Amino acid sequence: MDVPRRPSASVQEVAEVLYASVDQIWDRAYTALIEISSYREIPCDALRAAHRLNVERAAATVRYGRLPAPADMAEAQATTTARLRAGLPIEDIIRGYRLSISATFEQFVEIAKDAGLDEDELMKGIGLLWGLSDLFVAQAVLAHQRYAVEVVIGETRLRNDHVRAVLDGKVSRADLEQWLPDAPGPFRALLARVNGGERDVDEARLELERALARANVSGVIGVVDGMVTGYVVDAVPRAVEGLSVAVGHPVTLDDLPASLQLARRLLAADRGEAVLTVETCGWRLTVDTIEPLASHLRSRYVDPLLELGEFGPDLLATLAVYLESDRHVDRCAAVLNLHPNSLRYRLRRLSDLLDVDLNETDSVIALSMALELARRPA
């Protein structure tokens, strides 16, 4: 560590007089400070204490001929954080310090000239004081950045807690007003799943929030139990790339837990749609609600095909495309890149293996439900 050189007597004298003039400098600085409207809300004693520290630091900087280390500016960060918590904008905080150091600077120049301080020492002192001002600004900006992170973390925690309470049915209309003022309802619960990639769940939440804002959809979106979760005012959001979004049915505020349950079922029944609703999923929501029926459909229509080895999944895929093509042979053959006769052969094999008539309505319904079950874990 460098040992500061012993200052000349004249520099030391000026520094001592500068600090002794703290009250005189205060009178000059306070007149300028109260021109900033936000500073009028700060108690005078708090402003005066901060000013005294500023003058003390300025006098020490002139005395020793060097700027303090950033690590020695913790008080500046603490003062900035206190002002931010009191509601002052960072611009006003920096301006306030500039006014304080400007009053100190003017007093220093007057004292130095009256004391006959060497011109080189005077210019050096001026440069140090402006450097001290820049150092404070850098520390203030750093404190502002840290404070902003604290605010975001705090708001995120509050939002997530609110969403959890709403979807658990534990929030009042008064609580809701803090997040969605004048929201008439009805409301829909919302769940979103990130599909592959390295996207962070918080990043996904922000993307969904922006999509809602662009569509003018009111809602509150958070992250609950590792999933993007929230509620919207009776609206279905637009698709968001990379997300599967499930939206429950419209309900009153108290019934949002039921809407959330439906959203969970919708997400489980995901067939690749970007936005899932009861309208888009329809009967698929029911296929696994009665376990004996689900077991029967699996064993009757799915298991026999899977037992065929590699050819079984091909037949299942063929059947799925055939039903999705409304049993139109030419359309299905085009999707599968097969000759229509080859497709007809496969369909006959399917009919024989499963002992079904693909033209009967009951068979088509049963096969459709079985295929839906085949897409899901047993």
Residue with structure tokens 């079985």?
A: 370
Residues listed for the chain: 378
Within-domain flag for 24:
yes
Say yes or no: 275 and 199 in one domain: yes
Of the three residues 282, 300, 324, the one that is the final residue of a domain is 282
Please give the pLDDT value at position 6. Answer: 45
Write down the pLDDT at residue 187: 92
Could you write out the DSSP letters of every residue in 200-227?
A: -HHHHHHHHHHHHHHTT--EEEEEETTE
- pLDDT of amino acid 41: 85
Helix (H) or strand (E) holding 190: strand 187-194
CATH number, domain with residue 235: 3.30.70
295 & 274 share domain: no
Q: Are residues 270 and 295 in the same domain?
A: no
139 and 74 in a common domain: yes
Instruction: Identify whether 210 is part of a domain.
Output: yes
72: CATH: 1.10.490.10
- The reply to whether 262 falls in a domain is yes
Identify whether 271 is part of a domain: yes
Q: Are residues 197 and 71 in the same domain?
A: no
- Residue indicated by tokens 């009250």: 23
Residues 129 and 256 in one domain: no
Q: How many domains does one find in the chain?
A: 3
**Regions of the chain where pLDDT drops below 70:** 1-9, 197-198, 270-272, 282, 284-290, 376-378
Q: Tell whether 173 is covered by a domain.
A: no
Same domain for 257 and 295, yes or no, is no
CATH number, residue 302: 1.10.10.2840
pLDDT of residue 197: 66
Q: Are residues 101 and 194 in the same domain?
A: no
Q: Write down the pLDDT at residue 5.
A: 47
Q: Are residues 273 and 330 in the same domain?
A: no
Domain final residue pick, 129, 150, 171:
150
Q: Are residues 135 and 20 in the same domain?
A: yes
CA–CA gap between residue 374 and residue 365 (Å, rounded): 14
Burial category of 248 from C-beta neighbours within 10 Å (exposed 0-12, middle 13-18, buried 19 and up): buried
Q: Which domain holds residue 273?
A: 183-282
